[in-house]
């Protein structure tokens, strides 16, 4: 039996069919009642099968985007991945069009293999599978659309070898030229601010999102410390800044107090950097490769524990993933 209640922003319909719960808020009581009747029928349609006869994989992905993704950090990127998961075709039709009642582990395995054939790294496909698995699990446990989660029977691809891409000076120079950056000249255009972010990343080993989030409130120019209130591992971090890092920040055009210093959104930074990289004919370079290059450089200046503290790594094994000095370079220092 559905429960219809008046709430601050409209009318809330709640249903519970054999332990499967769902709710939604509507502007009018009539819309709430109509949805409740339809939704109860959908949940009852699962009886005797493995999943809903009226919902598709696409419905799971879309509702997950609307209800779950906004509660997470990185929601924008998660939504893009969910769209990508649904668009992939298997056996000639989009993966998102499969009815949940028909969904089997073989479908997910075929989707996995198609992604791998696209050249996507095993570790990336595994992360996409984790996201899809959680969406299917929510559809099972909270929405009552599935009896079991078929992902649990699908083998994950092996992780790809850790990336060890460094950024030689010639490539740095080529990308800076493509971005329109000239040392000592005013930084005005968005592409030039991307160039400063690129150089700042090479100097500090900070991630792109951390850099673009810097404001006058989080950077202390006097003590040369950047305060990152929330990082990838969920913890705050203080990043010491070199004289060069402070110099780079000082090149940026003035912004309102408390506004992001780089005045860039991630999508713009990503698009402008990729365009410049391609224009410079620099193959296989990502902005995140600056973290590998920066950590490898900083390892020559800092003790391991100091470096881990600066980069936010909680153990040295994780830090070693980013330390990519070549054996020949180390040999030269041996004498």
DSSP letters, 55-107, are: -BHHHHHHHHHHHTGGGSTTHHHHHHHHHHHHH-EETTEEGGGSBTTT--HHH
Hunting for tokens 């519970």 — which residue is that?
16
Q: Is 165 a catalytic residue?
A: no
**Phi/psi of residue 90, each to 5°?**
-130, 135
Q: Is 55 a catalytic residue?
A: no
Q: How many CB atoms lie within 10 A of CB 34?
A: 13
Q: Is 156 a catalytic residue?
A: no
| 107: Cβ contacts below 8 Å, ≥ 6 apart | 90, 95, 98, 150
Selecting among 55, 115, 193, 313, the annotated active-site residue is 313
Selecting among 73, 232, 244, 274, the annotated active-site residue is 232
SS3 for 6?
strand
Selecting among 112, 207, 237, 269, the annotated active-site residue is 207
Question: Cα–Cα–Cα angle for 279, 284, 285, nearest 5°?
Answer: 70
**Greatest CA separation found in the chain?**
82
Q: Tell me the two tokens of residue 240.
A: 């010491």
In angstroms, the first-to-last Cα distance of the chain is 81
Q: Tell me the two tokens of residue 254.
A: 């003035």
Q: How many CB atoms lie within 10 A of CB 44?
A: 13
**Phi/psi of residue 329, each to 5°?**
-65, -40
Which positions are catalytic?
207, 232, 313, 322
């Amino acid at each position: 039996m559905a429960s219809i209640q008046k709430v601050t922003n409209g009318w809330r319909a709640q249903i519970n069919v054999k332990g499967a719960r769902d709710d939604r808020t509507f502007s009018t009581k009539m819309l709430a009642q109509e949805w409740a009747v339809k939704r109860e029928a959908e949940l009852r349609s699962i009886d005797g099968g493995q999943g809903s006869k009226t919902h598709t994989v696409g419905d799971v992905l879309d509702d997950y985007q609307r209800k779950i993704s906004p509660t997470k950090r990185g929601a924008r990127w998660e939504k893009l991945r969910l769209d990508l998961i649904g668009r992939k075709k298997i056996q000639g039709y989009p993966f998102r069009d499969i009815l949940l009642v028909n969904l089997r582990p073989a479908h997910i395995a075929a989707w996995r293999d198609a992604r791998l054939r696209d050249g996507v790294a095993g570790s990336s496909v595994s992360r996409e599978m984790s996201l899809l698995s959680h969406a299917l699990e929510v559809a099972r446990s909270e929405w009552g659309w599935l009896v079991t989660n078929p992902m649990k029977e699908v083998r994950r691809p092996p992780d790809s070898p850790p990336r060890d891409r460094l950024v030689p000076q010639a490539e740095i120079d080529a990308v800076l030229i493509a971005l329109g950056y000239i040392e000592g000249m005013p930084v005005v255009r968005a592409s030039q601010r991307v160039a400063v972010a690129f150089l700042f990343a090479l100097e500090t080993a900070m991630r792109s999102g951390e850099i673009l989030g810097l404001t006058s409130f989080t950077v202390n120019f006097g003590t040369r410390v950047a305060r990152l209130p929330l990082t990838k591992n969920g913890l705050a971090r203080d990043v010491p800044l070199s004289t060069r890092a402070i110099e780079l920040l000082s090149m940026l055009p003035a912004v309102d107090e408390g506004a992001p210093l780089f005045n860039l959104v991630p999508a713009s930074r990503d698009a402008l950097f990729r365009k410049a990289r391609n224009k410079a004919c620099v193959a296989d370079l990502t902005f995140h490769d600056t973290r590998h290059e920066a950590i490898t450089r900083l390892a020559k200046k800092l003790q391991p524990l100091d470096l881990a503290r600066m980069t936010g790594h909680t153990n040295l094994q994780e830090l070693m993933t980013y330390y990519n000095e070549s054996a020949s370079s180390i040999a030269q220092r041996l004498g």
